[in-house]
Structure 1
Amino acid sequence: MFGKSFSYFLLSISIVLTFLLVVFRPEPKFDYDFEQFFPQDDPELAFYRGVYEKNFGSDNDYLLLAISNPEGDWIDSAFLSRSAKVKTEIQSLSGVDTLISIFDLQIPIINAFGLQTFPVLDWSSGESIQSSAEKLDQFKGSLIAKDGSSFLYLIQNDPKLTKEEGDVLFGQIVLILARNDIKPHAVAGKIQTQRDFVSLMQQEFGLFIGASLVLMLLVLFLVFRKPWGILIPILVLLIGILWAFGLILLADRPLDIMSVMQPTIFLIVGLSALIHYFTHLIKKLRLGLPKELAIQETFQELTFAVALTVFTTSMGFLSLYFTSIPALKAFGLWTGFGILILFLAVLGIAPGLLHAFPLSQPNFRFTSTSDRLLSSLFQKVIQRRKVIAFSFLGISLLGIGLSSQIKINGYLLDNLPLDHPIQEDFAYFDQQFGGSNPLELYLEKGTEAESLLDLEVLKEMEQVEGKLRELFGEGDFISPLSLIKTLNQAQNQGNPKAFSLPSRGQYLRMERYFAQALDIDGPKVLSENRMTGRISGRAPDLGSLKMGELRAELLNFVQQEIDPKLLRVKWTGTAHLIDRGHESVTLQMAKGLGVAFLIVGLIAGLLFRSWRLSLILLIPNMIPLIWMCGLMWLLGIEFKLTTAILFTVAFGIAVDDTIHFMSKLKLELAKGKNLHYAIKRTFIDAGRALILTSVILVAGFGLLIFSQFGVTHFTGLLISFSLIFALLADLMLLPVLLFPLKKVWDQKVKVLSHPK
């Protein structure tokens, strides 16, 4: 195998596959849907989609536009006329369900003609504008900014819009605003955020492909300094990436925020494998072997060990498939498969190109200097075994202690830098309009109530809303209670002070208007049978930790103060589900790591035929994870979905060094060498490769630190450090752990040297 004929055969097949992929290339699609971060096995998600959304629609398909007049006060006749025209044009767009603004505000009044409504805002004259301004004060913090500098367009779009349709709709809205010479002070919402995220993703995707290629060229030049040592790996890796992304796109999988990392991951994993092959090949050429024989022996001898390391790296990603978060499942699945596809490209293309290219002597030096340094380090490791063991133990215990202090906390936009325009716009809505995140509570009548409009139920509802205002500030909430308060205001000739819970006598007088009031256009707050409803508002993005505390306080209040026979309350909504995703990080991380530990344990057990050894081999690979926890605490990095997954990925990559070390040790033992000498030779020969590949991996992942996306930035930072920690554990701790097993190894030598 891997002789010239077979290698050319593999190369021919590879060329045909590449040609077909280029000719019939799939169209790349980019997407960002934060709902892909909802845990799919969460009963809260099933309730939201199966009960809440069916009754009251989606709470997240909205766009907030803060409209201000750059030339002065927005309560200006000409500016209001343009703004009203904009409102009418936007409302007529396909894909817009509703648009709520100050132009829609109506004061209900009950008079001799029954229930009638009159517009709050009238800009036909100076006097009417002045009168309207006084009436509008009660809407500050909801449809008008708290400081009065702008007013709000709350656009509810069709929840069935695709990403492309959302882009078109947002573009049409921007065009309408520009055509009427109105520039929003701030914009926030799903279709705008998705568009901006995807635009940034496309920029970073191209950036990191380019940066990774430059890094790869630099490494290859420094290591080999010959045309064949640079051109062949470049061709192999470019074709391998083409295959990997071709598979992803042919499966109709859009590229998302996690995909930004994939080009770098594919390149550095592939480059690491190629350097193992090429350095081994150069060593054989220097020993005087003919070119064809050197190539054949190199790929025959190393393919099993390299395949194992690639497989464990792939399994580190594939284990994410066993989490319940769709975005993580997809990222793990396609990154894992992509790594395997890249390795197939290495085997299918590299041997043939090496046979075809003239291999001049490279400048790569296997000097005795590195052997002396590693030999000296090995002696120090052996002499200070107890110091090393206790040092690793002490640092690890400290890491475990520090990890218990790390908080689980995530934000809706924590993947973006704090100074990003999207962050600034969302912060404006948090400060001036009560929040940018939906706040939703599901209401259901108790067993002793006839409907949610019973006066006693409304009194309980008022307590809940009072607690909400205590926790989140004087925000504006819509609910069955706000409907009744509006009717009470109507009974009092539209007096804003009468927007309150009515007395029993007032309540009895307004009952006959309930049905008429429910027919008034506006957000749905009550089911047709009046048995279920909602309290809906907005809240700032306080983070999952703070929101969890506030939710717990409210639900504790409900449990203690609200009579369940009258009213039952349940927190729901997409913001709640996002927080639930962050809160599930411990479970998600345990699922991923559990699968990864099991796979690596099985590989080690089958490879060395000792389950005791497989357990010991996990120890140096748990060290980087524990130390990474301590580093997170030192750097102030919190646990969230996008950082928790890094532990599984880091384990899958870091274990490669251990597999490589132990594979080399197995070969030395199979030659009949005693344990001490076998470990020493492995330490020197494998140590050189481990250091080189670790430098490449750290440099490659280090590129990701420059990403604007939080998930990509922290991936680069934390995995780079975990690889350094893994190298230290494999070169210093692993030999210390192996020496006490001399009796076990002596028995294994016989088996490994004379397998059945």
Structure 2
Amino acid sequence: MQSLVDQLIGKRYLLAMLTLLITAALGWGIPAVTSDNGFTAILSESDPYRAEVDQVREDFPPSTGVLFAFEAREGDVFGMQAVAAMDALTNRYTEVESAVSVGSLLNRRLNAVDAKRHDRDYLIPELDDIDQTQLDAIRDIALADEDLVKSLLAPKGDMALAMIKFKAVDDEKSTRLGIAESVVALRDSLRAEYPGVAIYVLGNVLFELDSHNAQLKDRSYLMPLVVSISILLLWFCLRSLSFSLSILVVAVVSVVMTVGTMGWLKVPFNQISTMGPLVVVLIAVADGVHIVSIYVQGLHRSLGRLEAMRESLMINIQPVTLASVTTVIGFLSLNYCSSPGIYGFGNVVAVGVVWAYLLSLTLLPALILLLPVNKVAKPLGVDGFIAAVRRAVLNHGNRLFLWGLLLIVVTLALLPLNRVDFNRYSFIDKDSDFHIVLKALSEKIGNDQSLVYSIHSGEYYGITQPGFLADVEEFSLWLEAQPEASFVTSYTDMLKTLNRAEHDDDLAWDVLPDDQLQIIDYLVGYQLVQEIEPNLEPIFNPDYSAIRLVIGTSNLSNLQLLNFNTRIETWIADNMNPGYTVRHGDNSILFARLDRSISIELLQGFALSFLLITITLAIGLRSLRYGLLSTMPNLFPATIVFGVWGVLNGELSPYILMLFSISIGLVVDDSVHILSKYIRGRRDKLSPEDAAGYSLDKAGPAITITTLALAISTFVLVLSSTFYYQNVALMLTPIIVVALLLDLLFLPPLLIRFDNWWERGPGARLVSRRSINKPH
């Protein structure tokens, strides 16, 4: 250890220059950094349904589009201004980049019977010669159209939808964002022109744009805010602005190296991993504070600068190394999870922790020793607080231990009050159109969610076989009878509609045709219509071997959606021809299954990381019993906070559950420094009480400063644009604070009680046996 410290100090400028050269090299990778803000970035890669969805999308290439929602502020959408707004969209849809078609009430065709009855082809005629009386009549026609109410119109007429489809020239992020921005520009223009109509937009490209803007907003405001708060806090605690800025320089360099590494490795950031650099800043600050605080304490005792830095490195290398290793283990355990969002975040932070550790030993000492010290250093700003903690531990240790134990037991009992739930839209701004439209779709139209299935006949032109048709029809009728289904769209409905229209709209012919040639005629005719009306979704694949069936649902929780899917699969197994293959065709079930799959994976990863961290501490501290005792302040901060959360809220997404692994990766830093200093005191023959006091004197100020920095910086996430990060702040901040309180007020009394018991009991007997067996 001594030789390593001598090398770090003696060659500090050379090491600093090498570090900066490596930073410059890694910095070249930053322009190559990409981001993936799509839904797939948070889906589980191991879910077997994912392959099914991919296959169905190959058979039925999904169209790309955005949804416009029109809601009259007074009355319904059949008022003059609302209809005019929809007409403007229909006429101006080409302002959206790559737009190819628009579908709305304004270009909705009437069925053959209604067209003949009203002597026009479209639901709404030209607006030049129309008045409110005619619009009232149009409302009655529209609300009587079941197909229209299922898709574009609320049953009460208070909301109407329009779909703009586009075909991008490529699938680059910049192209998608450009399309989304053109959609927003058109929306804003329509809002300004028609203030009496609420106009919203919804679509995957809009989700990506909202996520992108939320991240930019957070990076633009939150990161500078965190840095500013950290500078002020460190300035107050360390009593030196130059030392504080040095620590922040190291933190910023750590982020540059981390982001550059991701760029060189071509690993994209996603909705969760984009928070990684902020965590790296906090960890780098923690490493730097431990080294600088002991250095300042040495200066206060009139040590020279080199001697103070040598003492700081001698005291801190072991605990900083242990803390870094255990933190890396904690974040790498997130790789146990199959969601790219979660394990991507873990990998970003793990890489950052390694760079922060190396910089704290190479760059930071050089920076600190370059700074002149013209006056005697002031005591650390938290010395008075630590002195009070020391008195409380030594005078009321037993009481603190018992109260802490009671809190742990009670909150453990409260953990079952939590329930796991997941909202995939929690990554975007809560005030965005997404949340508004989804709520309206749920309440007004009743199709905020859908399940898509592909039924494959297993043969070319198999969907024209009467037997296949009968099975699909029976399946559709069963689905329509289920309480969860708002509507069911299937190609059998289309065949019955065409068959009835072919026979002068006679209801007696509202049945499936039994002539295969007639069925083929209908299908080919539908394909021709589909080429004319590009807004129609494909309901069968090009070789007529499979059909696509859509079930609309509304207001279903993830558990209800999974139960419905289970009933559907059971019905298929019991009633469908085993020669047919039924596949899931969308991500709804995949997102619902995230609760279960990711939660299990996270708990497994947490158990593994907790075991590895405990073993690492036992080896690093060279003491099995102290390694085992470290589990209490490392594990119980999270259980205490999650127990209280169960009473106050109780809703946990899998992405909040990952805080178990994150928290142990962060809070282990405090317990490592307390334990290492305590063990150092014990090996210097101090009593348990004196060793506890020594550990609080040496480690207490640093862990208090780092906890304040961590807690305040994570709490800043409450100001984030996304509900997800706000929840992280509300959960992680108290975990960090509770961890500090346990490390200061619970761990030292625990160590004192345990060592006194050990020396009177098992330890004394062990020494006695060794004395008896010792040869004379």
For Structure 1 versus Structure 2, the TM-score category normalised by the shorter chain is 0.7 to 0.9
Structure 1 segment 398-437 matched on structure 2, within 5 A: 398=413, 402-416=414-428, 418-437=430-449
Give the partner amino acid of 1:483.
M
Identical-pair percentage: 17
Matches of 2:266 and 2:517 in 1, distance apart?
A: 60
Show the counterpart of 1:754: none
Aligned pair in 2 of structure 1 residues 390, 149: CA closer, same or farther (>3 Å)?
Answer: closer
Q: CA deviation at 1:149?
A: 4.2
1:45 aligns with 2:50: yes
44, 56, 76: which is aligned to 2:60? 56
Matches of 2:515 and 2:110 in 1, distance apart?
A: 19
Aligned pair in 2 of structure 1 residues 173, 209: CA closer, same or farther (>3 Å)?
Answer: closer
Matches of 1:449 and 1:726 in 2, distance apart?
A: 63
Show the counterpart of 2:742: 729
Aligned pair in 2 of structure 1 residues 704, 260: CA closer, same or farther (>3 Å)?
Answer: farther
Q: CA deviation at 1:636?
A: 0.9
1:190 aligns with 2:204: yes
Show the counterpart of 1:13: 18
Q: CA deviation at 1:167?
A: 1.8
148, 151, 154: which is aligned to 1:142? 151
Alignment check: 8 A CA contact 1:321 1:332 kept: yes
Aligned pair in 2 of structure 1 residues 288, 427: CA closer, same or farther (>3 Å)?
Answer: same
300, 323, 331: which is aligned to 1:317? 331
Show the counterpart of 2:491: 480
Matches of 2:517 and 2:614 in 1, distance apart?
A: 75
1:243 aligns with 2:269: no
Structure 1 segment 626-665 matched on structure 2, within 5 A: 626-665=639-678
Matches of 1:722 and 1:54 in 2, distance apart?
A: 46
1:514 aligns with 2:522: yes
Q: CA deviation at 1:536?
A: 1.5
Give the partner amino acid of 1:164.
S
Matches of 2:706 and 2:228 in 1, distance apart?
A: 17
Show the counterpart of 1:391: 406
Q: CA deviation at 1:102?
A: 4.1
Matches of 1:207 and 1:625 in 2, distance apart?
A: 28
Matches of 2:634 and 2:23 in 1, distance apart?
A: 37
- Secondary structure at the aligned position of 2:675 is classed as helix
- Secondary structure at the aligned position of 1:26 is classed as helix
Matches of 1:461 and 1:148 in 2, distance apart?
A: 30
Q: CA deviation at 1:304?
A: 2.3
Alignment check: 8 A CA contact 1:589 1:644 kept: yes
Alignment check: 8 A CA contact 2:102 2:163 kept: yes
1:288 aligns with 2:298: no
Aligned pair in 2 of structure 1 residues 130, 491: CA closer, same or farther (>3 Å)?
Answer: farther
Show the counterpart of 1:163: 173
Structure 1 segment 186-335 matched on structure 2, within 5 A: 186-259=200-273, 261-335=275-349
Q: CA deviation at 1:603?
A: 0.7
714, 719, 735: which is aligned to 1:701? 714
Q: CA deviation at 1:187?
A: 1.0
Alignment check: 8 A CA contact 1:305 1:660 kept: yes
Matches of 1:196 and 1:452 in 2, distance apart?
A: 47
Q: CA deviation at 1:28?
A: 5.7
Deviations 1:472-529 (A, max 9, x none): 43x4x3212221232243135347xx4x983578889964643334424132222355
Alignment check: 8 A CA contact 2:453 2:583 kept: yes
Deviations 1:664-686 (A, max 9, x none): 23322332445554345335543
Alignment check: 8 A CA contact 2:457 2:545 kept: yes
Structure 1 segment 459-538 matched on structure 2, within 5 A: 459-468=473-482, 470-473=483-486, 475=487, 477-494=488-505, 498=507, 502-503=510-511, 511=519, 513-519=521-527, 520-521=529-530, 522-528=536-542, 530-538=544-552
Matches of 1:558 and 1:626 in 2, distance apart?
A: 43
Matches of 1:728 and 1:683 in 2, distance apart?
A: 12
Matches of 2:768 and 2:99 in 1, distance apart?
A: 73
TM-score by length of 1: 0.85
Q: CA deviation at 1:63?
A: 1.4
Any unmatched runs of 5+ in structure 2? Answer: 1-5, 114-119, 531-535, 771-776
Q: CA deviation at 1:62?
A: 3.5
Aligned pair in 2 of structure 1 residues 649, 549: CA closer, same or farther (>3 Å)?
Answer: same
Query: Larger deviation: 193-202 or 71-80?
Result: 71-80
Aligned pair in 2 of structure 1 residues 685, 174: CA closer, same or farther (>3 Å)?
Answer: closer
Show the counterpart of 1:551: 565
Q: CA deviation at 1:263?
A: 4.3
1:373 aligns with 2:388: yes
Query: Larger deviation: 684-693 or 404-413?
Result: 684-693
Alignment check: 8 A CA contact 1:201 1:256 kept: no
- Secondary structure at the aligned position of 1:620 is classed as helix
Query: Larger deviation: 306-315 or 500-509?
Result: 500-509
1:573 aligns with 2:586: yes
Any unmatched runs of 5+ in structure 1? Answer: 111-117, 752-756
- Secondary structure at the aligned position of 1:573 is classed as coil
Show the counterpart of 2:38: 33
Give the partner amino acid of 1:47.
E
Q: CA deviation at 1:188?
A: 0.8
- Secondary structure at the aligned position of 1:123 is classed as coil
Matches of 2:705 and 2:768 in 1, distance apart?
A: 29
Query: Larger deviation: 18-27 or 601-610?
Result: 18-27
Alignment check: 8 A CA contact 2:490 2:539 kept: yes
Aligned pair in 2 of structure 1 residues 729, 103: CA closer, same or farther (>3 Å)?
Answer: same
Matches of 2:762 and 2:294 in 1, distance apart?
A: 30
- Secondary structure at the aligned position of 2:618 is classed as helix
Give the partner amino acid of 1:383.
N
- Secondary structure at the aligned position of 2:447 is classed as coil
Matches of 1:366 and 1:202 in 2, distance apart?
A: 35
Q: CA deviation at 1:591?
A: 3.2
Alignment check: 8 A CA contact 2:452 2:584 kept: yes
Alignment check: 8 A CA contact 2:420 2:651 kept: yes
Q: CA deviation at 1:624?
A: 1.7
Give the partner amino acid of 1:56.
F
618, 628, 637: which is aligned to 1:624? 637
- Secondary structure at the aligned position of 1:148 is classed as coil
Matches of 1:633 and 1:723 in 2, distance apart?
A: 18
Aligned-pair RMSD on alpha carbons?
4.0
Alignment check: 8 A CA contact 1:241 1:267 kept: yes
Query: Larger deviation: 289-298 or 360-369?
Result: 360-369
Query: Larger deviation: 707-716 or 610-619?
Result: 610-619
Aligned pair in 2 of structure 1 residues 748, 516: CA closer, same or farther (>3 Å)?
Answer: farther
Aligned pair in 2 of structure 1 residues 286, 449: CA closer, same or farther (>3 Å)?
Answer: closer
Alignment check: 8 A CA contact 1:320 1:592 kept: yes
Deviations 1:678-709 (A, max 9, x none): 34533554344433332332222222222231
Give the partner amino acid of 1:594.
A
Q: CA deviation at 1:199?
A: 0.9
- Secondary structure at the aligned position of 2:453 is classed as strand
Alignment check: 8 A CA contact 2:207 2:428 kept: no
Give the partner amino acid of 2:684.
K
Q: CA deviation at 1:222?
A: 1.2
370, 379, 384: which is aligned to 1:364? 379
Give the partner amino acid of 1:57.
P
Deviations 1:379-438 (A, max 9, x none): 35543487347514532432xxx3223222122322346544431122223333333434
Give the partner amino acid of 1:151.
A
Query: Larger deviation: 434-443 or 647-656?
Result: 434-443
Show the counterpart of 1:65: 68
